Chain A
Amino acid sequence: MSFGPHLLLALLEGTVTAFVLALTALGLSLVFGVMRIVNVAHGEFFMLGAVLAWAFSSLVPGMPALGFLLALVGSALVVGTVAIAADRLILRRLNYAPEATIVATIGLLYIIQQVVLTVYGPNAHPVVPPINFRVVFPWFGYSGYKLVVIGASAALLGATWYTLTRTRLGLIMRATQFDRETAQSFGIPVDRVYSAVFALGAMLAAVAGVLIVPIQQAHYLMGLDPLLLSFIVVILGGLGNLRGTVMAAFVIGLSDGVISVFFSATLAKIIATLFVALVLVVRREGLFGEKAR
């Protein structure tokens, strides 16, 4: 394939990656920003979303579109509940101490993974996309569903954006993020805000999992990659900076794809990885972050 179409393909793929990544990373960023904790189990929420999508969509066989909608709502609710339980039972008792939280969420990661392995099994299961068509370019064909993923992610990102910036809930969250003590003294129920934020973060990951599963299949070990990538994106975007997170998702999503047009794939991954690391070194507050307070 000649250079132009090749680049187009890389850009298309990069955009899909970027949108899904943005959703996942936004969840992590929110938790990071408001609660100041590193949730190592974030990728498992993504995985749980994907696996539940398979479960929900097999409830209504033969109706992929209905199954998909059911999965979107159902997975988010289940994962949100799991997250609230984890916050109440574990994280709150640790008082959100950074080191203890890391160990606890590693424990949570193992627990979720193993429960899924036991209940769901080790096989990768495919889910039928709700809409199945093939977009034909002169040089190659492309999955229509991937374009749907782009649209759906964009809509969800927009909705989250609106919630955080234009609603009372968002205001409360931002207030808590800015200064926990002051927020508390103004009568904001910080405990409940933390639970809500943790649940919302997990639900964003779960929804990203639901969106990706018709492309990638549900598998009990699929959580690690999105976790690592989200980490990178969140830091690159500037801690707790949501706009930065989304923009960083695009830098990551596109750079890997475009560099691979020029280099062998593994080498491209190495270069892209080092590139992002060096960007962080040069701008330690992240690409789009403000100077640390």
Chain B
Amino acid sequence: MDHSKKDSNTKRLIRVSRRNVIKGLGAASALTASGLVPGAMRYAQAQSSAPIKIGFQAHLTGIGAAYGRWYQRTTLAAVKLINDTGGIGGRPIELVTEDDGTDPKRGAEVVEKFATEHKVDFVFGTLFSHVVVGSAPTAGQLKMPYFVVSEGYHVASGKLNRYVFQPGITDVRSQVISMAPWVAGNLGKKVAMIFPDYAFGHDHRDFFTKAIAAQGGEAIKHIPVPATETSYTRYFAQIPAETEVIYHVMVGPGVLTFVKEMGEHFGSKRPQIFGFIDSLEAVDMASPGLEFLDGTYFWEAFPRYAQKDQSAFDKFYRQAVGVNENGAAVDDPKDVSTYSHMFGCWETLYVIKAAVEQSGYRSATPKDKAALIESVEAMTDFAESNEHPQGAKKFNGQLHQVFAHQSISKVEGGRLNVVHRTAIEDGMYEPEADYRTQSL
């Protein structure tokens, strides 16, 4: 981080000149930049050799820190890989990381700092919805392309602005509605929903209730849990006796308690249980108390445990990030990743790379930025590949939002085994916005 300051000075010195030697970037990227690496040759003539600076807005402290660490690892792995294989159009990525403390006010300040102090080309990587919504206006006002990896229904709702994109991970609305047909068809039609009593939980409540009704089912009970709650047992008392499926989504450090207490409450006489893996991201499935989850189902964006039909891309991605076949760190099997979210960082960086290369983006001028944004908006399909290891995706340029396959996994012997994979279309909905009508 401290050499970023040096580099910002360096960048000021070398801004457009092509002949300069870049300091502090390592020999490999210098080779790339000077065009000695064959793969980079074809870009080297057209582009300035200065690095592309990307600001990484990271939740390294505060409530998002468990996710933030894995977002950082994934991002560093992707940046290293991109730089080792010729960079973006022959230019290496220089990553500048700033912690936002998972706070929306500080988040906005960090975006500002990226734009005016570090003078980055793009900002990327934000996870928590309130930080995204708090930072997005600043990005829009400073005309800073802002790529978030948040899964919130904020970009796609049209409430943000033309500079904000979510091209690496599906939004919660899409995830939720794609689950309804399978839940109604396989688990039951009378659903009791337990969710946190704030925006994230309300999105689940509203979208799933409609989606399950469309399948002939019914959300027979809504059980909102207040934000400040640390103990959940008494909420289980509100689950009606005729419930066929419990739908749960909890976030934060209390989630393990939630699952455990659910187990103690029901014992073996339980309804079917379907939950969102958000509850157990970064949590070891072998944790005490989780035995109870055996036989229950989870939504996963990207299966944490390597499946029998694991794609070569998943294998490649795991190896690059340093994640083993159980979704934990290779060097510490107790350190479980946030596998269903962090791939979004990886894929987003490749979307940025593609956009820069397609649009001929050179520097942070209004013209280049406009071209970049228009070329992201023109994207439609991402093929399953090393760049998009989670699977094929459809990008909606009107909504600035990507749509993907989702998985439903069953817990069996402390492992999550995929039992169903949705079609991308299952998660599509009628767009409510069109960012392309906003001026740049």
Contact = CB atoms under 8 A, between A and B. Distances in A.
Interface of A: 1, 5-6, 9-10, 12-13, 16-17, 114, 117, 121-124, 126-129, 134, 136, 140-143, 215-217, 219-222, 225, 257, 260-261, 264-266, 268-269
Interface stretch (B45-53, B209-217, B226-234): B226-234
A198 B280 CA distance: 38
Interface in B48-92: 61-63, 65-66, 68-69
26 contacts: A5-B237, A6-B238, A9-B233, A13-B234, A121-B69, A122-B65, A123-B66, A123-B336, A124-B66, A124-B254, A124-B255, A124-B256, A126-B256, A126-B260, A136-B267, A141-B264, A141-B266, A142-B264, A143-B264, A216-B230, A217-B254, A217-B256, A265-B223, A265-B225, A269-B226, A269-B228
A126 B335 CA distance: 13
Contacts of A141: 264-267
B283 interface: yes
B153 interface: no
Interface string B169-189: 000000000000000000000
A134 B228 CA distance: 26
Contacts, number: 102
B65 A264 contact: no
Contacts of B255: 124
Interface string B342-382: 00000000000000000000000000000000000000000
Contact of A124 (B197, B238, B253, B289): B253
Nearest to B233: A13
Contact of A134 (B223, B237, B264, B335): B264
Contact of B282 (A114, A123, A260): A123
Contacts of A12: 233
B234 A10 contact: yes
Nearest to A127: B288
Interface residues of B, number: 43
Given A124-B255, A143-B261, A257-B234, 18 more contacts: A1-B237, A5-B237, A13-B231, A13-B233, A114-B61, A121-B69, A123-B336, A124-B254, A126-B256, A126-B288, A126-B289, A134-B264, A134-B267, A140-B236, A143-B264, A217-B254, A266-B227, A269-B226
Contacts of B229: 265
Contacts of A13: 231, 233-234
Nearest to A134: B264
Given A124-B283, A266-B224, A6 B237 contact: yes
A81 to B, nearest CB: 26
B224 A128 contact: no
B235 interface: yes
Contacts of A266: 197, 224, 226-227
A179 B27 CA distance: 72
Contacts of A16: 231
B134 to A, nearest CB: 19
B228 A225 contact: yes
Interface in B253-312: 253-257, 260-261, 264-267, 282-283, 287-289
A140 B233 CA distance: 10
A265 B254 CA distance: 16
For the complex of A and B, list the 5 residue pairs with the smallest distance between their C-beta atoms, beginning with the closest.
A122-B65, A219-B253, A124-B253, A122-B66, A128-B288
A134 B264 CA distance: 7
Contact of B257 (A1, A5, A215): A215
Contacts of B289: 126
Contacts of A17: 231
Contact of B254 (A114, A121, A216, A269): A216
Nearest to B198: A266
B267 A1 contact: no
B253 A217 contact: yes
Contacts of B62: 221
A127 B260 CA distance: 12
A117 B228 contact: no
Nearest to B61: A117
A63 to B, nearest CB: 13
A16 B287 CA distance: 23
A216 B257 contact: yes
A126 B287 contact: yes
A284 to B, nearest CB: 26
A9 B254 contact: no
Given A140-B265, A141-B266, A9 B287 contact: no
A265 B288 contact: no
Nearest to A212: B230
Nearest to A126: B287
Given A117-B65, A141-B267, A265 B257 contact: no
A27 B265 CA distance: 32
B231 A221 contact: no
B257 A217 contact: yes
A188 B88 CA distance: 73
A122 B68 contact: yes
Nearest to A11: B234
Contacts of A215: 231, 257
Nearest to A258: B234
A6 B228 CA distance: 21
A71 B232 CA distance: 25
B253 A222 contact: yes
A114 B224 CA distance: 32
A104 B335 CA distance: 34
A28 B62 CA distance: 25
Contacts of B264: 134, 141-143
A141 B336 CA distance: 30
Most buried by B among A12, A222, A265: A265
A225 B69 contact: no
Contacts of B257: 215-217
A261 B239 CA distance: 13
A123 B284 CA distance: 10
Contacts of A260: 234
Nearest to B254: A216
Contacts of A268: 226
A1 to B, nearest CB: 5
B230 A225 contact: yes
Contacts of A121: 66, 69
Nearest to B289: A126
Contacts of A117: 61, 65
Most buried by B among A141, A260, A268: A141
Contacts of B63: 221
